A and B are shown apart, each in its own frame.
Chain A
Amino acid sequence: MVLTGAEIVVRCLQEEKVEYVFGYPGGAVLFLYDELFKQDQVRHVLVRHEQAAVHAADGYARCTDKVGVALVTSGPGATNAVTGIATAYCDSIPLVIISGQVPTAAIGQDAFQEVDTVGITRPCVKHNYLVKDVREVASTIRKAFYLAASGRPGPVLVDIPKDVCTQKCEFDYPREITMRSYNPVTKGHLGQIRKALQLLLEAERPMIYSGGGVILSDAAEKLTRLARLLGFPVTSTLMGLGGYPASDGQFLGMLGMHGTYEANMGMHYSDVLLAVGARFDDRVIGDPRHFGQEPRKIIHIDIDPSSISKRVKVDVPIVGNVADVLDEMIRQIESGGARPEQDALDTWWKQIDEWRRRECLKYKNSDEIIKPQYVVEKLWEVTGGDAFVTSDVGQHQMWAAQYYKFEKPRRWLNSGGLGTMGVGLPYAMGAQLAHPGSPVACITGEASIQMCIQELSTCKQFRLPIKIVNLNNRYLGMVRQWQELFHGGRYSESYMDSLPDFAKLAEAYGHIGIRVDTPADVEGALREAFKQKNELVFLDFQVDQTENVYPMVQGGKGLTEMILSAEDL
């Protein structure tokens, strides 16, 4: 069948069973939009800014096991998308971004809305393509989906010049893709797995350190099974939350800069560490030299060889898909019959329980002023711990991670690697579209929410009943916290002046807005909001301006050098 380039693009999206395309039209993509108009299999979500298109596609991918798709025009459409692409890249989220480009003859002529999209996005994509020949459109899009979802996932951009959309060729969607230059490993090396198990079974102070890779490879159940077989403590990175049930006794909470005392101490003093789909980044282990002071054997499972021994030397690297490797480990333990040394493990658990008794997440609640932690705790109660929760970046993000106890994978959506303020609302849009009928909460702050506030309009158009939990402390909270602790209390440009009345703003967009001033009203407001099954409710909580996130490991310090509360200062 002979089709135009634009028809082919849309046919490819249909072949890939794409449910939603998040995008924004413009000159270079007019033909593509014309084809989208003529069909109703692939639905288009019109955002109000291209950054949000990519974030929403990214959010959609995070809470499903599908590839998110965004469509933007050339020039500013593409540059606006860059923050979204980089955000997805840092967290290894599978996306396909289709960008329009000026006609091939105009490329390099400084044409209207021309920018070197492939050049600009090259450092923040897994791969990208400029398609100059209509005969390559189908195979390139097929490759893009394959690359995005396989191996270590990531965003793939396909840049399509306007004239390619109008040229014609025979359409044939390739089923199989083979690339001689790209063959990601899945199964782990059996010898390495055996070595790892031997270390684990001999361990006296073992620790399982799980990361976003567990979520991305849908290996939460396998991780849980392995951890229970072994009886080992489990800690998780920010990105890995939900990979192991938070209510389980073996879970020590999140580790790292704002991790729990028991998780950080356990991580530091472990003698055998099993890292699963995590990458020892600076927010997790702090100073690698400090971390290296304690002798320990490290086993590292990761699909990306370049993540292994990058910041910390690893003793037993296992390159492979987390789910496959964990499967093999479980199989070998179950068939081998050997179990860890129980006496040593009991002693280790005693030590961990002692650390736990510090109750590092305890905070002083108040009857007068709303504590942000209290709001998150109540949100957890009201939603039965079962909501899809998105966050932006800053203090509220850490409180969400600390106090919303995630039981299941793909329920927690936030920007871990790039730390992009503004993702919360578009992530919630992606999540709500992927899971209509499920509760979706966006925990945010008055600064972050303003970075993509225009999407309240998209939410209205697509009837997305998201619940926005705005922890409004009138400050760039995390910046203010660092300024208080490390910059002599000089609050340089961290005060958020001239804030809008968020409740009225939400109403202006056609939603429900509620301002909450006192702790007594927190739970009622949340219950009222979640009763509104068909409405977006913007809850503007006026919270304590001086509250800080603890525990805290100062940047560049070691994991055991924690500030547990203001009294530690």
Chain B
Amino acid sequence: MRHVISLLIENESGALSRVSGLFSARGYNIESLTVAPTEDASLSRMTIVTTGSDDIIEQINKQLNKLVEVVKVVDISESAHIERELLLIKVRATGKDREEMKRMADIFRGRIIDATDTSYVIEMTGNQQKLDSFVAAIDGAAILETARSGVVGVGRGERVLKV
């Protein structure tokens, strides 16, 4: 099962290695991992997308909590939540494909944020599937470069992850 785990960790050097090292040492999967400081600069928020059986996910939660610098861990995918990922994609945009590419970006509510005679950079946010669908929908040969941020997420409604 796919899970999205969010955690708050002391914003110290090496904090990221402690988390990524835990996953590699214990053989857990990381599909994506993002990290950035929060409004409180002493804390970073990490979002990890992982897969595993219920037992593995339980262990991941416990092991993350055990790290001395981890302040709080929440599996946000356990209840209603919102996930977003940012995609920056540079595509070839020449000839008749140029118009088609713009149309596809519009359909997926992407924005062209850079353009040259031959290329576009399209910015798009959404959940993983939406971005996957867009990448699948355009001509693969036209893709010059993609950069994806990995997933971030928050719980819906009243639930907050805060110290």
Which residues in A have some Cβ–Cβ distance to B below 8 Å? Answer: 118-119, 122-123, 126-127, 130, 147, 179-182, 304-306, 308-310
Contact = CB atoms under 8 A, between A and B. Distances in A.
Given A122-B14, A180-B163, A306-B63, A127 B21 contact: no
B76 interface: no
A305 B62 contact: yes
B65 interface: yes
Interface string B38-70: 000000000000000001001100110110111
Contact of B18 (A122, A147, A179, A305): A122
B107 interface: no
Contacts of B18: 122
B160 interface: no
Given A122-B18, A306-B63, A309-B58, A127 B68 contact: yes
Given A305-B65, A310-B59, A118 B70 contact: no
Contacts of A118: 14
Nearest to B64: A306
A123 B21 contact: yes
Given A118-B14, A122-B18, A306 B62 contact: yes
B71 interface: yes
Given A118-B14, A306-B62, A309-B55, A123 B25 contact: yes
Nearest to A122: B21
Interface residues of B, number: 20
Contacts of B10: 181
A122 B69 CA distance: 13
Contacts of A130: 13-14
B68 A122 contact: no
Interface centre among B21, B65, B66 (most CB of A within 10 A): B66
Contact of A119 (B17, B62, B68, B69): B17
Given A130-B14, A306-B66, 11 more contacts: A118-B14, A119-B14, A123-B21, A126-B68, A180-B71, A180-B163, A181-B10, A181-B69, A306-B62, A309-B55, A310-B59
A304 B66 contact: yes
Contacts of A179: 68
B136 to A, nearest CB: 39
A37 to B, nearest CB: 33
Contacts of A305: 62, 65-66
A181 B10 CA distance: 8
A182 B71 CA distance: 7
A290 B82 CA distance: 42
Nearest to A147: B68
26 contacts: A119-B14, A119-B17, A122-B14, A122-B17, A122-B18, A122-B21, A123-B21, A127-B68, A127-B69, A147-B68, A179-B68, A180-B71, A181-B9, A181-B68, A181-B69, A181-B70, A182-B68, A304-B66, A305-B62, A305-B65, A306-B59, A306-B62, A306-B63, A306-B65, A306-B66, A308-B62
Instruction: Pick the 9 closest A-B CB pairs, nearest first.
Output: A306-B62, A127-B68, A181-B71, A305-B62, A182-B68, A306-B63, A123-B25, A306-B66, A181-B69
Contacts of A147: 68
A152 to B, nearest CB: 8
